[in-house]
A and B are shown apart, each in its own frame.
Chain A
Amino acid sequence: MSIKGKAYIAGIYEHPTRKAEDKSLAQLHAESARGALADAGLSASDVDGYFCAGDAPGLGPLSMADYMGLKLRHVDSTDTGGSSYIIHVGHAAEAIALGKCNIALITLAGRPRSEGQATGTAARTTQNTPDAPFENPYGPATANMYAMCAMRHMYQYGTTSEQLAWIKVAASHHAQHNPHAMLRNVVTVEEVVSSPMIADPLHRLDCCVISDGGGAIVVASPEVARSLRRPKVKIIGAGEAPKHQMGGQLDLTYSGAVWSGPAAFAEAGVKPPDIKYASIYDSFTITVLMQIEDLGFCEKGQGGRFVSDGNLISGTGKLPFNTDGGGLCNNHPANRGGLTKVVEAVRQLRGEAHPAVQVKNCDLALAHGTGGSLGTRHGAASVIMERE
């Protein structure tokens, strides 16, 4: 059994806020849900499946179903960090294919900026995981974990800071057209590599923004999708896989995308060169580079060459990516970038991206995410969507 063609993305919404001091977490989830349902032409009473992850308050689906007054027959609170929502799209398609629900709502929201979180640089302190006593004493933050991946990639494949910088440059070219983006200035390779060092070899401009916000996605059965007056975006393949330290047989040069990507491509029956647009999780520049390799857009170790010279810029590059500006420039709500990756891919497939970055004849797109930490344990998730 496959999910191919069994479900459609019917509604999307990206909350416009980037700083939400005057709103609660539940409110941001619900406002995002309202937005996505309105986009689909549906109402909250139509929803019979609900998906959320660890950013939701309390016992996610219970607290949020209560707050939003949803009457549900299917819930899923799979939490793999920022990749959760890409997994949710696949799981929603599975649930719809099995008849467990017809209209699935996925929400994400968070207020790390208002709460003053030092998302990337504060050392982790939670003690309730089996790995914690063996890691926390050493000061693992977010930035230095991804930095260790970058350091090893540079050592093993000769990747340079300038090559990584091209990823930020491309994102900034896209973000200039997004009025909601936190950072709208176009930057140069020189500006990226001369920005302050955060954790060697990652500079400040190799890191994503810290933003409040949220987003939501509505996934619907083919029958429901046909009844709506919206462009039809079909889910045709999904893959997910966790990757970890493998009992000490550590290899930080690749991500779980080496498993989630091929699974999604096989289910969809397409290949990497067929993809017209890719949303690729960009917590850091190195995240993008490794995922591009692991998804098969280029050979392992060639990512640095692939991303250089504007190859990710829409209109000029071979692989237009993150045309909303991505996490590097636009938005990283709740420190979790997976949901907005799906949202921009759907905009592209609908032809609703900003005209300056809209990919011509965009009929096949991929959204991929990494959640948790690339340097320790992470979840990888890929979803492939087609315009019908």
Chain B
Amino acid sequence: MQSRERRIQAPEPNPETQAFWKAADEGKLMIGKCLACGAVHYYPRAICPFCFSDRTELQQASGNGTIYTYSVMRRAPIPYAIAYVTLSEGPSMMSNIVDCDLDKIRIGQAVRLVFKASDGGPQVPMFTPA
């Protein structure tokens, strides 16, 4: 287990992403949903990256996913696992795999959502083995 916690750089919300980070701070992971084409996307944005409609909204994700790929950064003061997690809703998102033995992380592993405090900003969505 990780004995020390890495400092998490605070995301800087902007007018477009404020609602996402407010939800994150309340413990909810939001993804982008397009009302025109129906597709979901990540990271969420005002303009759909698939059909270019501006009729997008945030939709809460279940928080369940699987590890698409990962890498443990060994050359860091506190080693950490970066990953792409494929959410059960479809999109893959960059994240960290936390609160686990970094040497036992595997591609395809089921993970669930957790939140970690950032350094002076909103809390950040991460994942831990389910």
Any A CB within 8 A of the CB of B128: no
Decide: B76 and A139 in contact? CB cutoff 8 A.
Answer: yes
Q: Which residues of B contact A140 (CB under 8 A)?
A: 82, 94
Which of B49, B86, B108, B118: most chain A Cβ within 10 A?
B49
> Which residue on chain B has the smallest CB distance to residue A198?
B75
Residue ranges of A at the interface with B (Cβ–Cβ < 8 Å) = 121, 123, 125, 127, 130-141, 143-145, 147-152, 155, 196-202, 245-250, 252, 376
Q: Which of A141, A151, A249 contacts B70 (CB 8 A)?
A: A151
Any A CB within 8 A of the CB of B28: no
Q: Which of A137, A152, A155 contacts B9 (CB 8 A)?
A: A137
Contacts A130-B43, A133-B11, A137-B10; A250 near B73 (Cβ below 8 A): no
Any A CB within 8 A of the CB of B74: yes
A149 to B11 alpha-carbon distance, docked (Å): 25
A313 to B51 alpha-carbon distance, docked (Å): 46
Decide: A148 and B73 in contact? CB cutoff 8 A.
Answer: no
Given contacts A248-B31, A249-B90, 12 further A-B contacts (CB under 8 A): A121-B75, A130-B16, A131-B43, A132-B11, A138-B95, A143-B73, A144-B82, A148-B69, A198-B73, A200-B71, A248-B93, A376-B94
Decide: B9 and A125 in contact? CB cutoff 8 A.
Answer: yes
Decide: A134 and B94 in contact? CB cutoff 8 A.
Answer: yes
Contact with A along B90-106 (1 / 0, CB 8 A): 11111110000000000
Decide: A200 and B72 in contact? CB cutoff 8 A.
Answer: yes
Decide: B118 and A137 in contact? CB cutoff 8 A.
Answer: yes
A328 to chain B, nearest CB (A): 18
Q: What 8 pairs across the A-B complex have the smallest Cβ distances?
A: A248-B91, A133-B11, A147-B71, A247-B49, A247-B41, A248-B42, A134-B43, A152-B69
Decide: B75 and A199 in contact? CB cutoff 8 A.
Answer: yes
Q: Which residues of A contact B91 (CB under 8 A)?
A: 247-250
Q: Which residues of B contact A197 (CB under 8 A)?
A: 74
Decide: A148 and B70 in contact? CB cutoff 8 A.
Answer: yes
**Interface pairs (11), CB distance under 8 Å:** A133-B14, A135-B94, A138-B82, A140-B82, A143-B73, A143-B75, A144-B73, A199-B72, A247-B48, A249-B90, A249-B91
A249 to B43 alpha-carbon distance, docked (Å): 11
> Which residue on chain B has the smallest CB distance to residue A141?
B73
Decide: A248 and B9 in contact? CB cutoff 8 A.
Answer: no
Decide: B71 and A123 in contact? CB cutoff 8 A.
Answer: no
B105 to chain A, nearest CB (A): 9
Q: Which residues of A contact B92 (CB under 8 A)?
A: 245, 248-250
Q: Which of B13, B40, B42, B71 contacts A148 (CB 8 A)?
A: B71
Decide: B73 and A252 in contact? CB cutoff 8 A.
Answer: no
> Which residue on chain B has the smallest CB distance to residue A248?
B91
Q: Which residues of B contact A127 (CB under 8 A)?
A: 12
Any A CB within 8 A of the CB of B112: no
Decide: B90 and A248 in contact? CB cutoff 8 A.
Answer: yes
Decide: A137 and B124 in contact? CB cutoff 8 A.
Answer: yes
Decide: A139 and B80 in contact? CB cutoff 8 A.
Answer: yes
Q: Which residues of A contact B72 (CB under 8 A)?
A: 199-200
Decide: B43 and A148 in contact? CB cutoff 8 A.
Answer: no
Decide: A248 and B82 in contact? CB cutoff 8 A.
Answer: no
Decide: B6 and A250 in contact? CB cutoff 8 A.
Answer: no
A245 to B107 alpha-carbon distance, docked (Å): 18
Q: Which residues of A contact B6 (CB under 8 A)?
A: 139
Any A CB within 8 A of the CB of B8: yes
Contacts A137-B124, A140-B94, A152-B107; A199 near B74 (Cβ below 8 A): yes
Q: Which of A141, A149, A200, A247 contacts B42 (CB 8 A)?
A: A247
Any A CB within 8 A of the CB of B111: no
B101 to chain A, nearest CB (A): 13
Decide: A133 and B12 in contact? CB cutoff 8 A.
Answer: yes
Any A CB within 8 A of the CB of B83: yes
Contacts A134-B94, A152-B107, A199-B74; A247 near B50 (Cβ below 8 A): yes
A148 to chain B, nearest CB (A): 4
A121 to B87 alpha-carbon distance, docked (Å): 27
Contacts A123-B9, A246-B49; A133 near B74 (Cβ below 8 A): no
Any A CB within 8 A of the CB of B17: yes
Which of A137, A198, A199: most chain B Cβ within 10 A?
A137
Any A CB within 8 A of the CB of B39: yes
Decide: A133 and B70 in contact? CB cutoff 8 A.
Answer: no
Interface positions of B from 1 to 48, Cβ below 8 Å from A: 6, 8-14, 16-17, 21, 31-32, 39-43, 45, 48
